[in-house]
Structure 1
Amino acid sequence: MNNPLVSIIIPTYNRAHLIGETLDSVLAQTYENWECIIVDDGSTDNTSEVVNSYIQKDGRFQFYYRPIEKIKGASSCRNFGLSLSKGVFVIFLDSDDLLLEYCLANRISKASEKSDLNFWVFPMFVESENQGRKIKEIPFSKSYLIDFLSYKIHWQTMCTLWEANFLKKIKGFNELYPRLNDPEIHIRAMLESKNRFFVFNDALADSVYKVTLLRDRCEFSKIYSTSLLLFIPDMTNMLRDHKLLQERKHLKAYLRDYFVGFFRYNSRKRNFSVLNIFYAFRIINIVTYYKLHINYCLFLVFNYLTRKTRNKLDNQVTNL
C-alpha cells in the first residue's frame, strides 16, 4: 500500500508546558499522511488552549476529552483514541516525548519491507537532564518474549509501529493497570501474534523518550504494587493459555525489582500482598517464599530498632 495513513495517538494530562514540543515534532514529519489524535484525561491547566492552537494551524490534529464513563488513565485515553483512529498503522506517543522528523517515513519504509507482520519495533533516544540525549540500542535476542517476562524492557511505548487491525483485535491496552502497561501489551501482543513482529535493531533511532525524575516514591510504590497484583495473575494465565506455563519462572524478576527499589516505601500489608501473589501463582517456590518472608520480617525489626534509637538520640539532643 502506497502512502498509508498513520494514526498518532497522544494521551495527555496537565502537560500544557510540554505538549507543544511534542506536537511540533509531529508537525515536522517529512511523511505527511498522518492524523494526530490527542485525548485529554481531565487536565486542569490550559492544555486545551495549547492543543487548539495547533488544530487551527493544521486540520490533521484532533482533540478529544476522555469520556466520563471511561476509567481515568493514559491507557484508557489511548484506547479511546484508538477507537476513533482511521489509520492503517498506529503509533502511541506520550505528551512529553518526541518523534524525530524522519520517524514516520523511516517506519513506513521499513514496515513495507516486512509487510506481513503485526507490529514493528524501532530504537529510540533516551534524554535526561543530567546525561543529555543517548541512543538506547535494542540488543539482538533469541526471545524478546522471555526478555519482557524477565523485566528486560528494551523499548518504550512510542517505539512500536502497530498494524491497526491487529491492535484493535487484541483490544489495545489493559485499562486497569496504573503501571506496567508497556510490558503487558507487548507480552500479550507477542503471544497473540505468534511472534509475527520484527525488531529493527540496526535502524536509526527515530524517537526520544524523556526520563522524568521519580518525585514521590511512596505513591509510586503503591501504584507499582497494585499493578503487580494484576499483572502476575494475568501473565500466568496468559502463558497457561498459550501452553507456555513453564516460562512463568522468569516473572520473578519483577519481584526482585520491586523489593530492591520500592518495598521500603510501602506498607507491610502491601508488601506481603506482593510477596503472596508471586507465591500463589508459583512464580517462586515455598523455600524462596519463606526466605523472603523471614528476611523482610528481620528488616522490619531492624528498621524499628534503628528508628527507636534515632528517636532517642533526637530527644537527647533536643533536651541539651
Structure 2
Amino acid sequence: MKRRHAYSKVSVVLPVYNHARWVKQAIDSVLAQSFPAFECIIIDDASQDASWEVIQSTCQTAPEMRWHCLRHGANLGAPASINQGLQLAQGDYIAILNSDDVWDAERLQRLVTLAETQGLDFISTDVAVLDADSNPKEQDEPHWVAWFEGLKQDYADRQDFWATLLRGNCLITTSNFFFHRRVYERVGQFAELRYVHDYDYALRTLLAGCRMAFLAGEKLLGYRLHGANTIREKPLAAIEENMQLLLGWLPALSPVLDEQRLFGLERQLKDLYRYTREEWLTAVHGHLQARERELLPLIADRERWITERDHWIAERDQIIAGQQGLLAQQQQWLADRDQWITDRDGWLAERDGVIRLQTEQLEQHARWVADRDQWISDRDGWLAERDALIRQLQQQRQELLDSRAFRFGQALLNPLRWCRQRFMEVSHA
C-alpha cells in the first residue's frame, strides 16, 4: 500500500488512534482537496478498534494517491506518531490532520497560495466546531466558543501573534498546523507532552523567529469535540501541564515580552487558575455524583428497609396491643385464679377444721362404740350369767315343785287358799 513520488508540494501527516468511526471522513477530506500535489502519511498508533481496516479499505479506493501507511505494534502517543510522520515527509510544506477532524476542500490550496505569496512559515485558520455526528456544535459548547471568540477578537485587535498565543492556544489542535519544511528543520520534533505538545511547538516556532499567521475569519478546519478527545480525558492534568509549560517558558520569553504580551500571559494564567478551580469543583462534583450514585441505591434500600421495618413495627404493635388485651384478660384470669385459690384455701382450711372436728368426734364415737361394745360385752356376760342363774333357779324351782315336800305343802295349803278367796269375794260383794 505504498506509492510515493520523488517530489510532493505538501506532505499530509495523519496520526490515527481508535478513530474507526471518523478516520474515513478525515481521509476523504484529504482526497477532496483541490490542491493536487501532495502525499499522505498515515500512521496508526496501535488502534484497538477497526481503524486500520478502515484505513486500508479507504486508501484502496484512491490508488493514484501518494500513500505511506504505517502501523505501530504498541501505542506510542500522538507526539511520537507525528514526529515519525515529519521524518518521512518529503514535501515543501507539512500539514497535520488528526483522524477525528476534517478539512475544507480548499484548505491546502488557500494556505499554500498564502504562504508563497506572503512568505509565511506557519499558518493556522479559524475552526468550525463539530459534534461526533459531524453536526455543528457551537450552540452546545457556549463556554468553549466564547473563549475561542475572545482569542480571535484579541488577534483582530492587536495583530500580534505573540500576544494572542500567550493569552491562549488559538491554534486549538495540531490539525490546524500548516508550516514550511524550514520550520521543522529549525524547530525540530514535537515534545513528548500528553496535552500541550501543539502549544509548545507553536511557542517554539514563534521564538525561532518564524513568520506566523492566523486566518481568524476562515473556517477551513472542522474540529470535532466529543467525549474521547484527549484534552478532555483529564482536564485537571491538561491544565497543570499547560501551566507548567508556561512557567517553564518564562525565562525564554523575557526577551519578547512587552506590556500587551504580558497582559495576554496574565489573562491566560488567571484563566488557567479559574479553570483549575472549576475543573477541581467539577471533579469534586463528579466524585460526589459518583458517590451519590453509589449511595442512592443504599439510601433507597435503607428507606425501603425503614418502610418495611415500620410496617413490621406496626404489625408488631398491633399484635402487642392484642396481646396486651390478652395479657390484661390473663391478668384478670390470674387475679380470679388467685382469688379462687385464696377462697379455696379458706374453704380447705374450713374443711380441714371440720375434718379435724369430725375426726375428733369420730375418735370419740369410736371410743363410745368401744365403750358400748365393752358394755354390751359386759352386759351380755352379765345376762349370760343371769340366764345361767335363772336356768339354775328355774331348774331348782322345778326341782322344788317336783319335790315331795313341795307337793305335800301345796296339798296342805290349798284348803286355806280356797277359804281366803271366798272370803275376798264375799267382802267385795
Q: Distance in 2 between matches of 1:78 and 1:159?
A: 13
1:275 alignment counterpart = none
1:149 partner amino acid: L
Identify if the C-alpha distance between structure 1 residues 263 and 121 changes in structure 2 by more than 3 Å, giving closer, same or farther: same
1:255 partner amino acid: Y
Give the share of equivalent positions with the same residue, in percent: 21
Post-superposition CA distance 1:125-168 (Å, at most 9, x none): 22125962669874314233233322363543223320112123
TM-score (norm. length: structure 1): 0.71
Say yes or no: does 1:32 pair with 2:36: yes
Structure 2 counterparts to residues 31-180 of structure 1, below 5 A:
31-56=35-60, 57-58=62-63, 59-66=65-72, 72-115=76-119, 117-128=120-131, 132=136, 138-139=152-153, 140-142=156-158, 143-151=160-168, 153=170, 155-175=172-192, 177-180=193-196
Deviation at 1:42, TM superposition (A): 1.2
Match of 1:122, SS?
A: strand
**How much is the aligned-residue C-alpha RMSD, in angstroms?**
3.6
Structure 2 counterparts to residues 244-283 of structure 1, below 5 A:
244=257, 247=262, 249-250=266-267, 251-262=269-280, 264-265=282-283
Q: Distance in 2 between matches of 1:197 and 1:218?
A: 27
Q: Greater share of helix residues, 1 or 2?
A: 2
Say yes or no: does 1:234 pair with 2:248: yes
Higher relative contact order at CA 8 Å, sep ≥6: structure 1 or structure 2?
A: 1
**Which segment drifts farther, 245-254 or 43-52?**
245-254
Q: Distance in 2 between matches of 1:218 and 1:182?
A: 15
Say yes or no: does 1:181 pair with 2:197: yes
Identify if the C-alpha distance between structure 1 residues 217 and 318 changes in structure 2 by more than 3 Å, giving closer, same or farther: farther
Identify if the C-alpha distance between structure 1 residues 233 and 62 changes in structure 2 by more than 3 Å, giving closer, same or farther: same
Give the conservation status (yes or no) of the 8 Å contact 1:11–1:77.
Answer: yes
2:214 partner amino acid: V
Q: What residue ranges of structure 1 are gaps of 5+ in the alignment?
A: 267-298
TM-score (norm. length: structure 2): 0.55
Post-superposition CA distance 1:51-93 (Å, at most 9, x none): 223443334121113476xx82111111110011011111111
Q: Distance in 1 between matches of 2:88 and 2:230?
A: 34
Q: Distance in 2 between matches of 1:109 and 1:163?
A: 12
1:200 alignment counterpart = 215
Post-superposition CA distance 1:265-317 (Å, at most 9, x none): 27xxxxxxxxxxxxxxxxxxxxxxxxxxxxxxxx9xxx8xx99xx89977863
Q: Distance in 1 between matches of 2:266 and 2:243?
A: 16
Q: Distance in 1 between matches of 2:232 and 2:123?
A: 36
Which residue among 8, 25, 30 is the counterpart of 2:12? Answer: 8
Identify if the C-alpha distance between structure 1 residues 153 and 200 changes in structure 2 by more than 3 Å, giving closer, same or farther: closer
2:303 alignment counterpart = 317
Match of 1:172, SS?
A: coil
Give the conservation status (yes or no) of the 8 Å contact 1:119–1:198.
Answer: yes
Identify if the C-alpha distance between structure 1 residues 265 and 98 changes in structure 2 by more than 3 Å, giving closer, same or farther: same
Post-superposition CA distance 1:12-46 (Å, at most 9, x none): 11222211111111111111101111111111223
Match of 2:234, SS?
A: helix
Q: Distance in 2 between matches of 1:169 and 1:183?
A: 17
Identify if the C-alpha distance between structure 1 residues 84 and 158 changes in structure 2 by more than 3 Å, giving closer, same or farther: same
Identify if the C-alpha distance between structure 1 residues 152 and 256 changes in structure 2 by more than 3 Å, giving closer, same or farther: farther
